[in-house]
Structure 1
Amino acid sequence: MESQRCKGMRDLLPDDMGKFRYIEDTFRNCCTKWGYREVRTPSLEYLRLFTATGTLTPSRLSKAYSFLDWDGWSGERVVLRPDGTIPIARLYLENLSFPARFFYVTDIFAFEQTGKENRERWQCGVEFLGGASPMADVELLLLAHELLHSLGISGVQLRLSHAGLAKALVKELGLSPRDEARMLGRILDGDWQAWKEAKSNNLELDKFLVSLVNFKGKLSDFLKKVKLPAEGTSPELESNLSNFIDILRLLDDLKCDYQIDIAAIHGFEYYTGICLQLFSRGEKIGGGGRYDELLSLMGSKSMPACGFAIYVDPVIKMLSLKEDERSESGVLLRGDEKKSRVVEACFSLAQSLRSAGRIVELDFAGESVADYRWVVSVSGEESFVIIDQKSGEKWEVRTLPQVVGILGVD
């Protein structure tokens, strides 16, 4: 029988895992310093968590892995987590009632027809539950910048849009509820062509919409080129535009680089405010936004909230890490397993080195191909040959303390 992994699934080999742990550790360190605390949610959630609230667009729900959790008599549909934020909101509602800053490392699952794209996707997420002011949005944007800088990811582009502004604009078009929902779903799924088809009965509004959707740049140019109609627009549209401008002004004050790109909005149906997308080398590596209505949709009182996620899979491909600890200071111990005193000496030396913080691999079969800096061959109780594979130097010594001394272990 042929052995192969499932379509759309990915194995992480040792080098991949080294990068994965580096991302995870860097992310955890950054978030902890900003006052965020780590949480974890189950891989399985009830399907109703994602359907009853209308929190996911139909296209996203169609890609969820769902099945019946059968107990022999009845059952309920469950899903493999298709989103990271909604389970965190559930966790919050079940356990807390005060503002909270959370972070998490999790996998999400989404069906992809061809199987050529990942169906399991890892992400490092941050959620600020209770953060209401524009400063909360700015905090997350700066945290995302710091994290990617700490990972050594260069050329990061921050693209900003606003879900509240987009939703208010769609309402201004005077569409039927069905057509409005369809258009909004297309916009949130990243279909920028939907904007081109948007027309209203207000010529000034149409001009505003075209200038807004086509604009790419910073706030200073935005204020010059994008003008709200003098009359005929709703307070909701004006309020969301004002909120967007307030956030951009704060980013300018803090010298945070960004690009306004309303047409590039791509997010979840529960987003209500600023939306962010992070790109590097032409690939999307993160995204997020504000979702003030999510908790109320889930049956709780209204709670302002915002968050973002860094996508681990593309970031792994961009990392170029320095030599790992094995090639820098690791030790490969070789000996003859048929000689009991040699075996005893190997285990004794390995224990001493590991206690001093070194990585040590025992190789009694002479088959290891691992890239260690030091190779120590033990041929007897008082016979050790040491090779530094970095410099090519070689020593022959007779005692364990001499070995430890050459390896530079305190």
Structure 2
Amino acid sequence: MLISGPRGTKDILPEASAYWQYIEKAARDVCSLYGYREIRTPVFEHTELFLRGIGETTDIVEKEMYTFNDRGGRSITLRPENTAAVVRAFLEHKLYAETPPAKLYYIGPMFRYDRPQAGRFRQFHQFGIEAAGAKGPAIDAEVIRLAVHFLQKLGLNELVLQLNSVGCPECRPQYRKALQDFLREKLADLCFDCQSRFERNPLRILDCKEEKCTGLSQGAPQMVDCLCDDCSRHFTQLKLLLTAAGLEFTFNPRLVRGLDYYTKTAFEIQYAPLGAQSAVCGGGRYDGLIEECGGQPTPGIGFAIGLERVLLALEKQALLPAVTGSLDVFVLPLGEQAQAAAFKLLCDLRQAGFTADMDFMGRSVKAQMKLANKFSAKFAAVIGDNEVQTGQVNVKNMETGEQQQIRIADLLNKLNTEVKD
């Protein structure tokens, strides 16, 4: 019986890998422009890290984590997101001792037990950045600008940037009370999850996707009206910086994000052509997270972009690059004596930086030439037993059909002129 892949996972086949490499290269190129360095953390961490870092009342922790006990009896969780893991590495390896802010980026798989749908899997991939050590709004603006820059570099221009401030521990209690007062008489009509959130984390009710809860929370007090002076100044200055950078944004008072560690800035970038599942990027400031994970009070901000969602957007808009997979040279050995010479030529071509291949299945000459066409080879290099004796090779230009016999020693010079120039 054939064993299929687990539900919610997807094999990335060779023909699709080129698209992933294209997206990942764009991410690395943009991060390099902004001075962000790559960090790679393990795909699993101690469960406690996510309980403390993400928040025990979040949907991720309560419903979506892949958690198990290892053979040593330790509770281990496949990472559902990477900010907490980066913070752990930041502290464990004393990256805070370097010149702040620490600018880091990551690309890799995350794991959440969620209902699979278009662009949403149980193993999914994220590109994200984290900047730790700077508390002013300028770093917020840079992080948001980097996210937009990356998406626009890929050709996604119909972007909607949504912005909010979720306050800080000083001003949030006032808003929490105002929101609870507004929702109290509607509590019985809220969904089960929102009833549970009412005491533990009422801000999450604004993030509920249930249509009934969305309607009941309409007209709720806005966090922006309860901000302390520091948060208010931060938010005002951020909007000025984004405007100066030419970034349009929409104020969304319901944007609270799904993680407990956010403070002050919260943002989301949507790509309208995706329809209902239009969010491609989410992020915000987390000034208390590093302290929560055992470090000194250190401000931080970051974002995560779902690469499956980005790939879906590029496919829908026909923005993915053409993948040719063409060869520079296809080598055809004719006869047993020619096999060794052909294989040596193949190795020399690859060592010189040319893409080259040959038949390994014992096909006929006609079938080998068809294979050269299938691989879109620019040249076919034919070596028979006679050519082995004379040290020559027959070279055919697969586009023009022109053929010539040259010394094997001169083939690299010819290719350097006609392929690399």
1:121: which partner in 2?
124
1:291: which partner in 2?
286
Task: Find 2:378's aligned residue among 374, 377, 393.
Answer: 374
Measured in 2, the distance between the counterparts of 1:192 and 1:265 equals 17
Give secondary structure in 2 for the equivalent of 1:244. Answer: helix
Task: Find 1:349's aligned residue among 336, 340, 345.
Answer: 345
Measured in 2, the distance between the counterparts of 1:333 and 1:187 equals 64
**Cα distance change on mapping 1:189 and 1:83 into 2, 3 Å:** farther
Measured in 1, the distance between the counterparts of 2:39 and 2:201 equals 35
1:315: which partner in 2?
310
Measured in 2, the distance between the counterparts of 1:130 and 1:244 equals 18
| Count of residues paired in the alignment | 374
Q: By how many angstroms is 1:395 displaced?
A: 1.7
237-246 or 115-124, larger mean C-alpha shift? 237-246
**Cα distance change on mapping 1:170 and 1:67 into 2, 3 Å:** same
Measured in 2, the distance between the counterparts of 1:364 and 1:114 equals 41
1:231: which partner in 2?
none
Which amino acid in the other structure matches residue 333 of structure 2? G
Measured in 2, the distance between the counterparts of 1:394 and 1:115 equals 52
Measured in 1, the distance between the counterparts of 2:342 and 2:376 equals 16
Q: Could you list the per-position Cα deviations for residues 99-124 of structure 1 after superposition, in whole angstroms to 9, with x for gaps in the alignment?
A: 31111112110002458741011111
Give secondary structure in 2 for the equivalent of 1:141. Answer: helix
Give secondary structure in 2 for the equivalent of 1:158. Answer: strand
Identity rate of aligned residues, in percent?
Answer: 26
Structure 2 residues without counterparts, runs of 5 or longer: 185-195
Q: By how many angstroms is 1:81 displaced?
A: 0.6
Task: Find 1:255's aligned residue among 246, 262, 275.
Answer: 246
Q: Could you list the per-position Cα deviations for residues 202-256 of structure 1 after superposition, in whole angstroms to 9, with x for gaps in the alignment?
A: xxxx68x3xx59xxxxxxxxxxxx9x5xxxxx5x455434432221111112211
Give secondary structure in 2 for the equivalent of 1:152. Answer: coil
RMSD between superposed Cα atoms in Å: 3.0
Give secondary structure in 2 for the equivalent of 1:164. Answer: coil
Task: Find 1:88's aligned residue among 71, 86, 101.
Answer: 86
**Cα distance change on mapping 1:154 and 1:345 into 2, 3 Å:** farther
Which amino acid in the other structure matches residue 63 of structure 1? E
Measured in 1, the distance between the counterparts of 2:405 and 2:154 equals 42
Q: By how many angstroms is 1:313 displaced?
A: 1.0
2:70: which partner in 1?
69
1:269: which partner in 2?
260
Task: Find 2:106's aligned residue among 104, 107, 119.
Answer: 104
Q: By how many angstroms is 1:402 displaced?
A: 5.6
298-307 or 78-87, larger mean C-alpha shift? 298-307
Give secondary structure in 2 for the equivalent of 1:173. Answer: helix
Give secondary structure in 2 for the equivalent of 1:179. Answer: helix
Given the two structures, how large is their TM-score scaled by the length of structure 2?
A: 0.79
**Cα distance change on mapping 1:128 and 1:53 into 2, 3 Å:** closer
Give secondary structure in 1 for the equivalent of 2:254. Answer: helix
Measured in 2, the distance between the counterparts of 1:275 and 1:193 equals 24
Give secondary structure in 1 for the equivalent of 2:11. Answer: coil
Which amino acid in the other structure matches residue 176 of structure 2? V
1:395: which partner in 2?
403
Measured in 2, the distance between the counterparts of 1:357 and 1:142 equals 37
Q: By how many angstroms is 1:136 displaced?
A: 0.7
Measured in 1, the distance between the counterparts of 2:179 and 2:347 equals 73
Measured in 2, the distance between the counterparts of 1:276 and 1:122 equals 20
1:384: which partner in 2?
394
Check the 8 A contact 2:57/2:200 in 1, yes or no: no
Structure 1 residues without counterparts, runs of 5 or longer: 200-205, 214-225, 229-233
Measured in 1, the distance between the counterparts of 2:42 and 2:231 equals 35
Q: By how many angstroms is 1:155 displaced?
A: 1.9
15-24 or 182-191, larger mean C-alpha shift? 182-191
**Cα distance change on mapping 1:155 and 1:68 into 2, 3 Å:** same
Equivalences for residues 174-213 of structure 1 within 5 A: 174-175=180-181, 179-188=198-207, 194=213, 196-198=215-217, 209=221
Equivalences for residues 324-343 of structure 1 within 5 A: 324=323, 326-327=325-326, 330-336=328-334, 339-340=336-337, 342-343=338-339
145-154 or 393-402, larger mean C-alpha shift? 393-402
**Cα distance change on mapping 1:29 and 1:91 into 2, 3 Å:** same
Given the two structures, how large is their TM-score scaled by the length of structure 1?
A: 0.81
Which amino acid in the other structure matches residue 339 of structure 1? E
2:298: which partner in 1?
303
Q: Could you list the per-position Cα deviations for residues 114-146 of structure 1 after superposition, in whole angstroms to 9, with x for gaps in the alignment?
A: 587410111111000112100010010111122
**Cα distance change on mapping 1:193 and 1:126 into 2, 3 Å:** farther
Check the 8 A contact 1:189/1:267 in 2, yes or no: no
Q: By how many angstroms is 1:293 displaced?
A: 0.8
2:166: which partner in 1?
163
Q: By how many angstroms is 1:323 displaced?
A: 3.9
Q: By how many angstroms is 1:392 displaced?
A: 4.4
Q: Could you list the per-position Cα deviations for residues 267-321 of structure 1 after superposition, in whole angstroms to 9, with x for gaps in the alignment?
A: 3111112112122223322111111111122232211100012211122231644
Measured in 1, the distance between the counterparts of 2:199 and 2:230 equals 20
1:217: which partner in 2?
none
Which amino acid in the other structure matches residue 378 of structure 2? W
Give secondary structure in 2 for the equivalent of 1:273. Answer: strand
**Cα distance change on mapping 1:192 and 1:27 into 2, 3 Å:** farther
1:172: which partner in 2?
178
- Whether 2:48 is the aligned partner of 1:18: answer no
**Cα distance change on mapping 1:114 and 1:247 into 2, 3 Å:** closer
1:218: which partner in 2?
none
Q: Could you list the per-position Cα deviations for residues 331-355 of structure 1 after superposition, in whole angstroms to 9, with x for gaps in the alignment?
A: 322334x513x22332233233323
